A and B are shown apart, each in its own frame.
Chain A
Amino acid sequence: DVVMTQSPLSLPVTLGQPASISCRSSQSLVYSDGKTYLNWFQQRPGQSPRRLIYMVSNRDSGVPDRFSGSGSGTEFTLKISRVEAEDVGVYYCMQVTHWPRTFGQGTKVEIK
Chain B
Amino acid sequence: EVQLLESGGGLVQPGGSLRLSCAASGFTFRTSAINWVRQAPGKGLEWVSTINERGDWASYADSVKGRFTVSRDNSKNILFLQMNSLRTVDTALYFCTEHWQVANWGRGTLVTVSS
Number of interface residues of B (CB under 8 A): 21
Chain A interface bracket (under 10, 10 to 19, 20 to 34, 35 or more): 20 to 34
**Stretch of B18-26, B67-75, B80-88, B95-103 contacting A (4+ beta carbons < 8 Å):** B95-103
**With an 8 A cutoff between CB atoms, is B62 at the interface?**
yes
Task: Check A55/B47 contact, CB under 8 A, given A48-B107, A99-B59, A100-B59.
Answer: no
Q: Decide: B102 and A48 in contact? CB cutoff 8 A.
A: no
Min distance, Cβ B23 to any Cβ of chain A, angstroms:
15
Q: Decide: B107 and A37 in contact? CB cutoff 8 A.
A: no
* Cβ contacts under 8 Å, A92 to chain B: 44-45
Listed from nearest, the 4 A-B pairs whose CB atoms lie closest are A101-B47, A48-B105, A103-B45, A106-B44
Binding site for A on B (CB under 8 A): 35, 37, 44-47, 50, 59-62, 95, 100-108
Can you pick out 15 interface pairs between chain A and chain B where the beta carbons lie within 8 Å of each other?
A: A48-B106, A48-B107, A49-B37, A51-B101, A51-B105, A55-B101, A60-B103, A94-B102, A96-B102, A99-B59, A101-B35, A101-B47, A103-B45, A103-B47, A106-B44
